[in-house]
Structure 1
Amino acid sequence: MSMIFSWRRRRAGRGRAGKDEFPDMELSIPTHFRCPISLDLMKDPVTMCTGITYDRGSIEKWINAGNNTCPVTNQVLRSFDQIPNHAIRKMIQDWCVENKSYGIERIPTPRIPITPCDVSEICSRIEAAAQRQDAKKCLDLLKKMKNLAKESERNKRCIVQNGAGCALAACFELFASFSIEEYTDFLKEILSALTWTFPLGDKGKSKLGSAISLRCIALFLKGDDLSSRKHAVLVLKELISEDQDFVNSLMEIEGIVEALFQIVKVPICPTATKASLVVLYRMTLSENSEMITLKFVDMGLIPCILEILVDGDKSICEKALGILDSISSRDQGREGMYENALTMPLLIKKILRVSDMATRFVVSILWKLCMGENENAVVEAMQLGAFEKLLVVLQVGCGERTKSKVTELLKLMNLYKDELDCFASSARFKFLKRPN
């Protein structure tokens, strides 16, 4: 069996305007040139231990999905080694050249994928050069690592999984301790690479989470270089996601909260905004949550978060609601939310409109605002249709904690329901003319 492709061949016509068309020409791709998985022409043929040849990208996807058998023979793969099949690749390239007239382009000779040993060697050389304070050599090796990562996702995974993050974190701390001013550009290069080399491992986390490293990252976060600010907040987000303890160290740095808030207030890009929201949220869960909540209220974070909720995407809304849920646990946070006219309308609007997580956050926030003996909050929520929406939440199903809060809210609102219904009825008849 062979796969058929059709190309329309054209050539310029003489003595006529335009071009003459020739009938469709059919071209068969030899079966042994096609990957047994994708059925496409192989670009990087590799042979497995079972003797079957596949396109590298296809067999890697198969293995990464958790399969440990050969797709063709169904034999258990004793080894996942992929041996480049140079003979088949050369035959495919020759076939492409022979059929160039059909519009087929010659497949390029694939680069040999990087190995764990290659990554370990580069990391060792980076660490050795860092100890010698040889920034130029470190930068050359860093660029080599980045170029290898760009070649393929496989290379990138191999680099991440074999200690690159740890080596770069150690290098970052070392040069930051030498002189941030002297090595600013080099430190920014390391920071950009660190954004995709997580997880770092315990040693890497300790290096990047040290006081020296955090001060350097904070300096970039507060700077004017938008690219460096983005990389700084992405690295901070990954760092505190691995260990909440770094949040306390981060909060001790002067101006860090303001710098994170500025990224939310004046966005650089959606990715940076989301990362900044995550870091701010983690701060609300710290030991100094009461102090940080008061600081957030004073700097105007609540209006900023509410503005984000107006047209934010799913991910941004979830993170923004998470922050509001956390700060509404404090008196200062609730007061700040009571004072903003957008609070209730936006919260009610987001129920069942974004995601299950967002609905859980909204229910939690409403519970804190309404159960705090604030009648105005209860009445406003009901006037905006909260009662009906909360009933729907129960009907579609939710977690036990959310269900408990919804039930309490409905019981509370039910106390005001008759009074509001009477008020609404009297308002409807208020403008009716009396009969003569």
Structure 2
Amino acid sequence: MVLGWRRRKNNKSKGGKPNIELVIPNHFRCPISLDMMKDPVTLSTGITYDRESVERWFDEGNITCPVTNQVVRNFDMIPNHSLRMMIQDWCVENRQHGVERIPTPRIPISPMEVAELLLQVKASARGLDQNGCLELVQKLERWGGESERNKRIIVDNGAPGALASAFDAFANDSVERNVLVLDEVLSALNWMFPLQLEAQKSLGSLASLRCMVWFLKHQDLSGKEKSIVALKELLSFGDEKHVEALSKIEGVNELLVKFINKRSSPTITKASLRVVWYLVSSSSEKKMKVAFVELGLVPCLLDILIDSEKSLCEKALAILDSLCECEQGREKAYGNDLTIPLLVKKILRVSPLTTDYSVSALWKLCKFGENDDEGRALVEALQVGAFQKLLLVLQVGCGDETKDKATELLKLLNPYRAELECIDSDFKNLKRSY
């Protein structure tokens, strides 16, 4: 019996006779996927599989041949060119039945080839050979574009470290003079995240950071996206030295606020919000918080909360909650009529995370402001339905910290309830965020 799918054209041919079903020969099928093989390779056990299927089998931790169940001690995969050509010929013969000829697969790169190319990259970087390094990086990117397997081999054999080192070398020399190779290296690094320690050190050098900030100022949209994503990934490792070094580069805070306010692309906006979060959460957080408040970040964040999807809302609320820890941040929040209604609106409306941040920010505004501000915030919160929302938060369940803050907020709000009618705002002038 022949396994697999069958392909039928129409019920009848032109002469009125029924068409014969097209059956894929059994030996053209991969024993793992049962699909026709596109890149047949033979293991040391003598069994042929489709390369993609057998690689996935081994990547999942298996060490045996799926058919023979023998332990595989030599993982070399020998391309079965004869079988591949037979499959291609069969596809051509049956093209009238809608069968497409499989393309001749590219030969996968080997770890040795990657290692040799990376040695050349390092040598060209040491000699500041921009053109030579540019060609090598482009070749590396072409390899990576051919298959996910090639990308894994490139990353696993030290490409992120070599490229980050080259980026640092050319940035130290001159950004303007080496902008082409720097842009190409950064483009390649963007699909190699997360970076290993060696690459983090090179990409986190002062010269590299200044180069990426220069890209944010002078490059086109694509260049800006690559740079801000690289900064976000670098800071995500939590190295305070990188955060502190970036914060000292002139103009970086203004750029980040500009990107958040302008929202030129989702990639830039999300990455900028993440970078700001890392900056305001650093050891010098109070100083950074005040700096961003003075640059007008609070109204930018509130504007995002009016009409944004879940991910943006979560990031914006995380930063707003952090800014409300300082007096200057609370002052700006009190001065904006949207603050309290938006915070109450986001409770139980977008995600558990936005609820946590909204309750936390509301708690800070109602507890730590001046007497007049506290009272005004409590009154406004009651008027837009905060009391009912907070009761629901406790009923549906939340984390211990949010539970404690919601409970304290209810105690703070309770004395004002006798004088005020609690109404649920329909927020007619605000767009839904989901």
TM-score normalised by structure 2 residue count:
0.88
CA distance in 2, matches of 1:382, 1:66: 57
Letter in 2 for 1:391: L
Q: Is the 8 A contact 1:163 1:200 kept in 2?
A: no
Q: Which residue of structure 2 aligns with residue 340 of structure 1?
A: 336
Letter in 1 for 2:400: E
CA distance in 2, matches of 1:149, 1:386: 52
Q: Is the 8 A contact 1:9 1:21 kept in 2?
A: no
Q: Which residue of structure 1 aligns with residue 363 of structure 2?
A: 367
CA distance in 1, matches of 2:16, 2:388: 66
- TM-superposed CA distance for 1:48, in Å, is 4.4
* Gap change, CA 1:341 and 1:69, over 3 Å in 2: farther
- TM-superposed CA distance for 1:217, in Å, is 1.3
The superposition leaves residues 336-378 of structure 1 with CA deviations (integer Å, 9 ceiling, x where unpaired) of 1111111122222222222222222112112211222512212
* Gap change, CA 1:91 and 1:394, over 3 Å in 2: farther
Letter in 2 for 1:367: W
> Does residue 124 of structure 2 align to residue 167 of structure 1?
no
Letter in 1 for 2:387: F
Q: Which residue of structure 2 aligns with residue 308 of structure 1?
A: 304
Q: Is the 8 A contact 2:134 2:180 kept in 1?
A: no
Runs of 4+ residues deviating >4 angstroms = 20-25, 48-52, 65-81
Task: Determine helix, strand or coil for the equivalent of 1:419.
Answer: coil
CA distance in 1, matches of 2:250, 2:69: 60
> Does residue 351 of structure 2 align to residue 355 of structure 1?
yes
Q: Is the 8 A contact 1:297 1:336 kept in 2?
A: yes
- TM-superposed CA distance for 1:202, in Å, is 2.5
Letter in 2 for 1:117: M
* Gap change, CA 1:379 and 1:198, over 3 Å in 2: same
CA distance in 1, matches of 2:17, 2:243: 69
- TM-superposed CA distance for 1:391, in Å, is 2.3
Q: Which residue of structure 1 aligns with residue 255 of structure 2?
A: 259
Q: Is the 8 A contact 2:111 2:157 kept in 1?
A: yes
1:317-336 matched pairs, under 5 angstroms: 317-336=313-332
1:34-433 matched pairs, under 5 angstroms: 34-48=29-43, 51-66=46-61, 71=66, 78=73, 81-245=76-240, 246-372=242-368, 374-421=374-421
Task: Determine helix, strand or coil for the equivalent of 2:264.
Answer: coil
Task: Determine helix, strand or coil for the equivalent of 1:325.
Answer: helix
* Gap change, CA 1:378 and 1:185, over 3 Å in 2: same
Q: Which residue of structure 1 aligns with residue 430 of structure 2?
A: none
What is the aligned-residue identity percentage? Answer: 53
Letter in 2 for 1:210: S
User: What is the RMSD of the two structures over their aligned residues, measured on CA atoms?
Assistant: 2.6
- TM-superposed CA distance for 1:256, in Å, is 0.7
Structure 1: 5+ residue runs without aligned partners? 14-19, 425-436
Residues 141-150 or 363-372, more deviating: 363-372
Letter in 1 for 2:267: T
CA distance in 1, matches of 2:333, 2:72: 59
The superposition leaves residues 81-137 of structure 1 with CA deviations (integer Å, 9 ceiling, x where unpaired) of 544333332221121122121121111111122232222211111001122222111
- TM-superposed CA distance for 1:163, in Å, is 1.2
Corresponding pairs, count:
417
- TM-superposed CA distance for 1:326, in Å, is 1.1
| Structure with more contact order per residue of length (Cα contacts < 8 Å, sep ≥ 6) | 2
Q: Is the 8 A contact 1:42 1:55 kept in 2?
A: yes
Task: Determine helix, strand or coil for the equivalent of 2:405.
Answer: helix
